[in-house]
Amino acid sequence: MLGWREHHIGPRNDRYRIEGVDVWREKWRWINGQTVYLPNPFRPGENARCMICEIGGKYTGMARFAASELENGLWVFYVPE
């Protein structure tokens, strides 16, 4: 089982990159429908259900992350430790 660390909170299309790959310009591949519950940064004591995804490939680096859409259109991203 992977450990995860919070990496970014921001709105859709904010040019956020993981390992040099722009998450909003790549197709997210949801890995076998896997999810993980991680701390919701806006609601202490509550967890957010995050999709475990990969992006990138042949022409860019590959990156794995967990993400969830929070309130107010913000997204939280976690990366493996």
User: Per-residue pLDDT tens for 12-68?
Assistant: 999 999 998 999 999 999 999 999 999 999 999 999 999 999 998 877 788 999 999
Based on the structure, what is the number of domains in the chain? Answer: 1
Structural domain that includes position 62:
4-80
Is the pLDDT score of 1 beyond 70?
no
What pLDDT, on a 0 to 100 scale, did the predictor assign at position 32? Answer: 95
What pLDDT, on a 0 to 100 scale, did the predictor assign at position 58? Answer: 79
Q: Which is it for strands 29-39 and 47-55: parallel, antiparallel or unpaired?
A: antiparallel
Question: What DSSP designation does 44 have?
Answer: T
Judged by DSSP in three states, 72 sits in helix
Angle among Cα 50, 55, 59 to the nearest 5 degrees reads 175
